Amino acid sequence: MKRTMVLGLGALAIVILGACYDPDGLQDDREAAQLEVFEDRFEAAADATPDEPVDPDATPDPNDPSSAIVQELPVADYYLAACSACHGVNREGGVGLPLAPDNLTEPDDFYADTIINGRTGTVMAAYGGGAVLTDDEVAALVTWMKNTEP
Ligand code: HEC
């Protein structure tokens, strides 16, 4: 009886594995799961987004990465609005990878390229090419993420 069950379970596992063995299907599942977590966290991130007005005449200080303006917002506020749902309010990661200085050990270009072009097969979208962010804005984000502690 036990043996029948083991055989039965084994067969079931093979059937399930067979049903899943569609590389595209698996990827869709992964993306769907990532999107689900993203949606859950989106509201939390929206709540965390401050809405103080920005002084349009403020000049960013080249020595202070936090003073950069991205899409008319201080870089940290832009991050909260656009990125934190996946990468965490404190850049601790979530659906997306953690983005604190300790995590970002590759050259700037590597991360700029990810933000500009996105990552195929993941929910990391392309923000570059003028679609959302200019190259300067992407550079400001990378400098800020690599040089300021969350
Ligand atoms: C919908 C969720 C989502 C959003 C929104 C999002 N990302 Fe990502 N991001 C991801 C995922 C998932 C990855 C990891 C991709 C992989 O598996 O390689 C990633 C990877 C990255 C990486 C590469 C990190 C590394 O260590 O290689 C950077 C940099 C990055 N994102 C920056 C951003 C920035 C900046 C924003 C906002 C403008 C943003 N992301 C918005 C999901 C997201």
- For 108-147, what is each residue's pLDDT tens digit? 999 999 999 999 999 999 999 767 999 999 999 999 999 9
124 in contact with ligand 1, CB cutoff 6 A? yes
Side-chain half-sphere exposure of 114, counting CA atoms within 13 A: 16
DSSP string, 104-115: --S-HHHHHHHH
Average pLDDT of the residues in 65-71? 95
Please say if the pLDDT value at position 39 is more than 60.
Answer: yes
Average pLDDT of the residues in 59-70? 89
What's the gap in Å between 74 CA and the centre of ligand 1?
A: 19
Q: Rounded mean pLDDT of the chain? A: 81
Structural domains of the chain in order of their starting residue, each with its CATH number: 24-147 (1.10.760.10)
User: Which numbered atom of ligand 1 lies nearest the CA of 141?
Assistant: 35
Pocket test for ligand 1, best of 34, 79, 80, 97 (most atoms within 8 A of CB): 97
Pairing between β-strand 73-74 and β-strand 69-70 as defined by DSSP bridges: antiparallel
Alpha helices in the chain (DSSP H): 2-20, 23-48, 75-82, 84-87, 108-117, 135-147
Threshold 0.85, pTM exceeds? no
Which residues touch 123 (CB under 8 Å, ≥6 apart)?
Answer: 31, 34, 35, 38, 86, 95, 96
Q: Return the higher-pLDDT residue of 63 and 148.
A: 148
User: Which numbered atom of ligand 1 lies nearest the CA of 127?
Assistant: 38
80 in contact with ligand 1, CB cutoff 6 A? no
Q: Is 130 left (phi over 0), alpha (psi -120 to 50) or beta?
A: left
